[in-house]
Every structure is written in structure tokens, then in C-alpha cells.
């Protein structure tokens, strides 16, 4: 495994490194990064910023807003939060959740156990301590590789997290919980020895690296030049971050076990002129491939049902089924 570490605390830069490594890294071995970012709200790829983030408070508090390339929900991070990235080869048909659990969640749970924190992987993408969430993961697939990444709440500012994230009331009801604070916790609260964030980060790396051979990879000038292009064109570009609010004449949303789905359709003379699918589902490939299958189709259940036959929705929508998607539209 290769390990990459940078001095940057810019989340958009790290997402640019991920994308570069997904497409251009010349070796087939897995790549790992453990990193930190200044105060940041990270949108899932298919979410609408204004619906997920209190933008006025984010500006007031100096919180950066970025959009990642994976699905899932919005998270808040600060310098007392740790982010992790694992990139590895991917063959079509491999089960995404199994990859996340075996190659990412299991090593993290083992490392935390060695530090003295009793954690366990649970649900579609979470790591819990004493029933409360300390980590969430998301994935995306490109160029024959899969990127699994997520956060670890070590000593995160929970008051800021609660203020900046807009709470999905339907999600809370579905989990029978009353607040964000009731279902998340900081790792530091569960440690007999409360390390500083930097001490914890070094200890975490040590325990993770004990499990196998790790070689450090230093980004070259050529790497950094290409990463800068991705950074400017995409992750630091407001059109990528905020340009995902669709025009529509039809809109509906539903929450399922596999996440929330929102469907926006522009319907002209009984046919779909434009289709946008948003939500916090854990899709791993760009959603436009699925949206194109429903565009220029008559707005009828039977037509949509036929159009979705033979499509691997698992890659597009995670654990959202065809019947669930259709129930969100008709």
C-alpha cells in the first residue's frame, strides 16, 4: 500500500488529489491518505447545497463548502476531525459495501480497538461507538478504481456541526431520534487517555500501518500541476459546488433504507425533457447515465419500468431498488 500525506488543510485540494490518483496513479497497489481540513461542509455529489447547509451561517462562521464526487449525505469537519481515503483497483461486479467493510471499516475498527476504543461497523456506511456514530463512509468508481473515503469525529466542534447542517426531519423520524447530537459522538469522549488531535492522528496511523507494508509516496511537481488543474476546474469551482440545483416541473422525494431520493423532472407535452436525481443515496458512478435513460421518455409508469430493466441500479443508487425509485416518481 502507498501512503500519501500533504500539508494542505483544504478539502477541495484533497478531493482533487483523489481524482488525480483515481485516473493517473501508475501503480496497481492501494493508496491511503489520512488528512485534516479547516472548517468545511462537504456535500454529497447529488445533493442541493441550500437544502443541506445553512449557507448564511456557513459564510458567517468562515466554513468552506465543497462538493465531493461520492454520494451520501453532507458532513461537517474541522481540524479536530480526521478524514481517510482508500483507493484501490476495482472490477465490475464487486460488491461495494463488502469492499468498504473489509478494506476500510475493518482496519479502522481494529486500529481503534488497539487504541482502546471499542468501535464496530454497522449499517450501510457507519462506524459506531456505544451506539453513536463516529464515522460515515461513501464510495465512487472511476477508471477501474474505487475510492472509499469518510470522516472520523475525534474532537469535532459539535455545536458548529449542528448549526451548519440542516436536519432532514424525515431521516430523524425514520431513525426514531430527535437530534444530530443524540446520534453522533466524538472518539475523544470514549478514551481513557484524552490525546490531542495530533497525537491521536499519529497513533491511528501507527496502528493502521502495523497491519502491513506501507510505502510513502511524495507528490511530484508533475502530480501537483495536474492536481492544481483539477482543483481549479472542479472542486474549487463554484459551478461544481453550487451548480447542481435543477430546474423542474415535477418534484418528489422519499426516504428508503438505502437513503433519500429526490427526483426532478421537466415534463413537456407528456414527455421528460430533462431529469435530475438527487439525494444522499450511496451511488458510486455518475448519475447522469441513469438520468439519460429516463430522458425523452413518455411520463408513464410502464415506459419508465421498461427503461429501467437491465440497468444495474446498485452502482447508480446504492441499495435503492427499481420499485423504490419508481414509487418516488409515480
pLDDT, position 189: 95
Residue range 250-329 in CATH 1.25.40.340: no
Cα–Cα distance list, 216 to 33, 103, 208 (Å): 10, 19, 14
At 64-85, the pLDDT tens digits run: 999 999 999 999 999 999 999 9
Q: Which of 274, 318, 270 is nearest to 294 (CA)?
A: 274
Quick one: pLDDT at residue 26? 86
Residue 181 clears pLDDT 60, i.e. is over it = no
Angle at Cα 326 formed by Cα 279 and Cα 94, nearest 5°?
Answer: 65
Question: Is the pLDDT score of 229 beyond 90?
Answer: yes
pLDDT higher than 90, residue 101 = no
User: By mean pLDDT, which of 53-67, 93-107, 214-228 is the weakest?
Assistant: 93-107
Lowest mean pLDDT among 7-21, 123-137, 272-286: 123-137
Q: What is the mean pLDDT of residues 198-215?
A: 89
Instruction: Provide the pLDDT for residue 197.
Output: 95
Are the C-beta atoms of 261 and 320 separated by less than 8 Å?
yes
Tracing cell 442541493 back to the chain, one arrives at 48
- Answer whether residue 263 shows pLDDT above 80: yes
**C-alpha distances in angstroms, 102 versus 36, 73, 95, 99, 126?**
23, 22, 11, 5, 13
pLDDT, tens digit, 9 for 90 and up, residues 135-169: 999 999 999 999 999 999 999 999 999 999 976 55
Name residue 31's beta-bridge partners: 2, 87
Nine-digit cell at 113?
Answer: 480497538
**Which pLDDT score is estimated for 13?**
98
pLDDT at 171 (0 to 100): 52
Grid cell 425514520 — which residue?
174
Q: Which three cell numbers stand for residue 245?
A: 440545483
Q: Are 160 and 63 in contact (CB under 8 A)?
A: yes
> Tens digits of per-residue pLDDT, 282-329?
999 999 999 999 999 999 999 999 999 989 999 999 999 999 999 999
> Would you say residue 249 has pLDDT above 90?
no
126-129 CB contacts, 8 Å cutoff, 24+ apart = 127/152, 129/185, 129/187, 129/190
Tell me the torsion sign for CA atoms 168, 172, 174, 175: positive
Sequence spans of domains, the chain: 2-242, 250-329
The DSSP H or E segment spanning 88 is: strand 81-89
Question: Please, what is the average pLDDT of the chain?
Answer: 91
Are the C-beta atoms of 165 and 44 separated by less than 8 Å? no
- Where is 261: in which H helix or E strand? strand 259-268
Homologous superfamily (CATH) for 2-242: Bira Bifunctional Protein; Domain 2 (3.30.930.10)
* Structure-model confidence comparison of residues 10 and 248, the more confident one: 10
Q: Has residue 210 got a pLDDT over 90?
A: no
pTM for this structure?
A: 0.84
Between CA 313 and CA 40, with CA 235 as vertex, the angle to 5 degrees is 95
Q: Is the pLDDT of residue 126 over 80?
A: yes
174, pLDDT greater than 50: no
The average pLDDT across 31-49 equals: 95
Enumerate the β-bridge partners of residue 147. Answer: 87, 140
Question: What is the pLDDT, as a whole number, of residue 122?
Answer: 87
CB neighbourhood size of 23 (10 A): 13
8 phi, psi to nearest 5 deg: -70, 145
Q: Please report the pLDDT score of residue 182 as a whole number.
A: 61
Give the per-residue pLDDT at 93. Answer: 86
Cα torsion angle, 104, 107, 111, 117, sign: positive
The predicted pLDDT at position 168 comes to 59
- Dihedral sign (CA 50, 52, 56, 58): negative
Amino acid at each position: 500500500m502507498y501512503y500519501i500525506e500533504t500539508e494542505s488543510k483544504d478539502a477541495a485540494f484533497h478531493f482533487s488529489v483523489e481524482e488525480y490518483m483515481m485516473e493517473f496513479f501508475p501503480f496497481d497497489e492501494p493508496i491511503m491518505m489520512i488528512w485534516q481540513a479547516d472548517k468545511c461542509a462537504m456535500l454529497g455529489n447529488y445533493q442541493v447545497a441550500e437544502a443541506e447547509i445553512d449557507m448564511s451561517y456557513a459564510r458567517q462562521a468562515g466554513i468552506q463548502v465543497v462538493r465531493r464526487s461520492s454520494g451520501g449525505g453532507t458532513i461537517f469537519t474541522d481540524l479536530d476531525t480526521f478524514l481517510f481515503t482508500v483507493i484501490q483497483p476495482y472490477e465490475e461486479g464487486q460488491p461495494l459495501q463488502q469492499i468498504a467493510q473489509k478494506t476500510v471499516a475493518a482496519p479502522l475498527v481494529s486500529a481503534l480497538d488497539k487504541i482502546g476504543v471499542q468501535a464496530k461497523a454497522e449499517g450501510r456506511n457507519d462506524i459506531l461507538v456505544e451506539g453513536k456514530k463516529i464515522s460515515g463512509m461513501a464510495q465512487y468508481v472511476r477508471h477501474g478504481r474505487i475510492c472509499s473515503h469518510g470522516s472520523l469525529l475525534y474532537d469535532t466542534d459539535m455545536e458548529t456541526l449542528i448549526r451548519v447542517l440542516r436536519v432532514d426531519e424525515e431521516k430523524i423520524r425514520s431513525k426514531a431520534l430527535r437530534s444530530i447530537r443524540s446520534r453522533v459522538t466524538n472518539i475523544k469522549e470514549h478514551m481513557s487517555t484524552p490525546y490531542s488531535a495530533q497525537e491521536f492522528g499519529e497513533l491511528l496511523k501507527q496502528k493502521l500501518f502495523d497491519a502491513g507494508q506501507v510505502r510513502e509516496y511524495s507528490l511530484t511537481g508533475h502530480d501537483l500541476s495536474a492536481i492544481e488543474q483539477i482543483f481549479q476546474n472542479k472542486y474549487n469551482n463554484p459551478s461544481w459546488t453550487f451548480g447542481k440545483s435543477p430546474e423542474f416541473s415535477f418534484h418528489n422525494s422519499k426516504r428508503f433504507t438505502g437513503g433519500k431520493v429526490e427526483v426532478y423532472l421537466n415534463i413537456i407535452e407528456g414527455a421528460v425533457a430533462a431529469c435530475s436525481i438527487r439525494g444522499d443515496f450511496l451511488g458510486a458512478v455518475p448519475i447522469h447515465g441513469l438520468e439519460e435513460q429516463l430522458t425523452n421518455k413518455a411520463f408513464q409508469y410502464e415506459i419508465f419500468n421498461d427503461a429501467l430493466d437491465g440497468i444495474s441500479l446498485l452502482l447508480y443508487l446504492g441499495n435503492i431498488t427499481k420499485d423504490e425509485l419508481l414509487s418516488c416518481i409515480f
